[in-house]
């Protein structure tokens, strides 16, 4: 039964998912199973196979509409497999896999740090195949977490807001710009409330790890009455209405689709560095059909799968990232430092510093 209630937890989980990438019609259309769950389900669909011999149970943070074509394509290649698709927030996904009560075959999430922690703690299974080994080493953690997309994180500027102003190429330039034109930017800068938005926290810590510029940026923003948001959809709404001149750390693919629709904005890949986030899949330790799960992971990583991702979804596939090309793109790597960021003490300290820089306390 659909529990899509516009409550705060739901809102939070929506924001923790794909930055509110897609409208919620999927939820309304979804057929759900009457199942007592220890976690909150946002949507549930079963893709039946006429010749069903096996069932693949997917737990995903991604919106169904994005995945539907992929699933159908997979079923075409594996006609005997029925696919059971459950959509949750990334926090709920973490809880579900950690609890190890309900069994899912593949857990797909945008939250790289949570995925890594699940794997580190021994809650994921090992999967090795020629396809999986062919993926670059930095795109996976051990043989347990497999990134299959490469999605840049950008800033969005409004045309009107930046009228007459040069578009900053680096964060340094952005800082200088904002410092030089406080009147233009005061109350017009939008960022995630990292205290509530998991992805925002991830990106913030990554920014801070990579460059000192992040804290100076935060300080500069702090002096300009920064606007805190839960999700990119609202940030882009406000870019469109002119209430925001700058939205920071937005998913490029989503921003592009929104700007294509509404126009009036610009995507800014900052040249000092542009982080790339990977959507990843892992096979929970208690998966019922691990071989089937492995085949699905391999499909996502395969050339056919990757091209399907490119054509049918808005996500840039992993293969679209060319490591040798140079440029500002910097994939966030699976590593122990992601784990560090989840540490309670670290988190408390970071948030305290962030609040201080942004003058929120």
Partner 1 sequence: MVRAPQAGSIQRRLALSHLLLGALASICLFLAIRFVAFQTAEATQDNLLRAAANTIAEQIGSSGDQVIVKLPHSAFAILETAAQDRIFYNVRVNGQSITGYEDFLPPDATRRVRDPYSFSLGYRGFDLRAVVLNSSAPAGSELQEVTILIGQTQDAQQAVADRFAAWAILISAGIFLGLAGLGAITAQQALRPLRDVTGAVERRGPNDLRPLRQPTPVELTPLTSALNDFIRRLRHSLRRSETFIAEAAHHIRTPLSTVKTETEIALRRTECDDTRRALRKVLFSVEESARSASQLLAYATVTQRSDSTPLERMDLKTKVQEAYDALFPTADLKDIEMHFTAQGPCFDIQGDVLMIEISLRNLIDNAIKYSDPDSRIDLNLQCDGDSVVLTIRDQGRGLGDVSPKQLFGRFKRGPETAGIVGTGMGLSIVNEVARSHGGQLYLSNNEERGTCAELSFPCLS
Sketch the per residue contact string, 79 through 98, with partner 1: x for CB under 8 A, - otherwise. --------------------
Q: Which of 209, 241, 307, 311 binds partner 1 (CB under 8 A)?
A: 209
Distance CA 45, CA 34 (A): 12
CB of 121 to partner 1, least distance (A): 7
For residue 290, the 8-state DSSP code is H
Sketch the per residue contact string, 284 through 323, with partner 1: x for CB under 8 A, - otherwise. ----------------------------------------
Cα separations in angstroms, 14 against 199, 229, 253, 290, 300? 12, 13, 17, 29, 24
**Residue 103 vs 340, nearer CB to partner 1:** 340
Distance spanning both ends of the chain, measured CA to CA: 41
Classify each residue of 217-248 as buried b or exposed e, where b means 16 or more C-beta atoms within 10 Å of its C-beta: bbbbbbebebbebbbbbbbbebbbeebbbbbb
**Residue 58 vs 342, nearer CB to partner 1:** 342
Distance CA 267, CA 259 (A): 9
- Alpha carbons within 13 angstroms on the beta-carbon side of residue 176 total 9
Cβ atoms within 10 Å of 73's Cβ, excluding its own: 18
**Residue 329 vs 339, nearer CB to partner 1:** 339
Query: How many residues touch partner 1 (CB under 8 A)?
Result: 17
Record the tokens describing residue 163, joined without a space: 């009228």
- Per the CB < 8 A criterion, the answer to whether 191 and 228 are in contact is yes
The yes or no reply on residue 337 touching partner 1 (CB under 8 A) is yes
Cα separations in angstroms, 129 against 79, 203, 291, 294? 21, 31, 11, 8
- Per the CB < 8 A criterion, the answer to whether 39 and 88 are in contact is yes
What residues from 103 to 162 belong to the interface with partner 1 (CB under 8 A)? Answer: 120-122, 141-142
**Residue 3 vs 349, nearer CB to partner 1:** 349
- Per the CB < 8 A criterion, the answer to whether 269 and 152 are in contact is yes
CB of 320 to partner 1, least distance (A): 24
Q: Which of 50, 183, 260, 344 binds partner 1 (CB under 8 A)?
A: 344
Q: Which helix (H) or strand (E) holds 235?
A: helix 232-241
CB of 191 to partner 1, least distance (A): 21
Name every residue whose Cβ is closer than 8 Å to that of residue 336 and which is 6 or more positions away in sequence: none
Placement of tokens 């959509």 in the chain: 87
The yes or no reply on residue 349 touching partner 1 (CB under 8 A) is yes
Q: Which of 36, 51, 324, 345 binds partner 1 (CB under 8 A)?
A: 345
CB of 210 to partner 1, least distance (A): 12
CB of 139 to partner 1, least distance (A): 12
CB of 205 to partner 1, least distance (A): 9
**Residue 136 vs 182, nearer CB to partner 1:** 136
CB of 144 to partner 1, least distance (A): 9
The yes or no reply on residue 346 touching partner 1 (CB under 8 A) is yes
CB of 346 to partner 1, least distance (A): 5
Binding footprint of partner 1 on the chain (CB under 8 A): 120-122, 141-142, 209, 334-337, 339-340, 343-346, 349
């Amino acid at each position: 039964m659909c529990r899509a209630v516009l409550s705060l937890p739901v809102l939070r989980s929506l924001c923790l998912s794909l930055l509110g990438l897609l409208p919620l019609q999927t939820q309304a259309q979804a057929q759900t199973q009457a199942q007592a769950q220890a976690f909150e389900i946002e949507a549930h669909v079963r893709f039946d196979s006429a010749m069903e011999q096996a069932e693949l149970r997917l737990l995903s943070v991604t919106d169904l509409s994005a995945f539907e074509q992929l699933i159908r394509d997979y079923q075409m290649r594996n006609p005997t497999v029925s696919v059971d698709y459950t959509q949750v927030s990334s926090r709920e996904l973490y809880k579900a896999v950690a609890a190890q009560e309900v069994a899912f075959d593949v857990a797909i999430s945008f939250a790289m740090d949570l995925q890594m922690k699940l794997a580190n703690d021994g809650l994921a299974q090992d999967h090795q195949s020629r396809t999986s080994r062919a993926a670059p080493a930095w795109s996976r953690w051990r043989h347990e977490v497999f990134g299959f997309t490469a999605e840049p994180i950008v800033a969005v500027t409004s045309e009107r807001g930046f009228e007459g102003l040069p578009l900053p190429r680096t964060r340094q330039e952005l800082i200088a710009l904002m410092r030089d034109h406080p009147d233009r930017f005061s109350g017009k800068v939008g960022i995630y409330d990292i205290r509530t938005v998991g992805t925002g926290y991830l990106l913030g810590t990554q920014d801070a790890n990579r460059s000192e510029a992040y804290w100076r940026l935060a300080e500069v923003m702090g002096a300009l009455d920064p606007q805190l948001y839960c999700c990119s959809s609202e940030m882009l709404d406000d870019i469109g209405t002119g209430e925001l001149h700058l939205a920071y750390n937005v998913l490029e693919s989503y921003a592009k689709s929104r700007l294509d629709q509404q126009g009036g904005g610009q995507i800014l890949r900052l040249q000092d560095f542009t982080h790339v986030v990977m959507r990843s899949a892992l096979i929970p330790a208690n998966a019922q059909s691990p071989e089937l799960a492995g085949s699905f992971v391999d499909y996502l990583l395969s050339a056919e799968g990757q091209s399907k991702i490119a054509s049918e979804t808005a996500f840039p596939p992993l293969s679209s990232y060319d490591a040798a090309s140079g440029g500002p793109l910097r994939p966030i790597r699976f590593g122990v430092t992601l784990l560090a960021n989840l540490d309670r003490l670290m988190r408390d300290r970071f948030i305290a510093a962030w609040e201080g820089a942004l003058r929120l306390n």
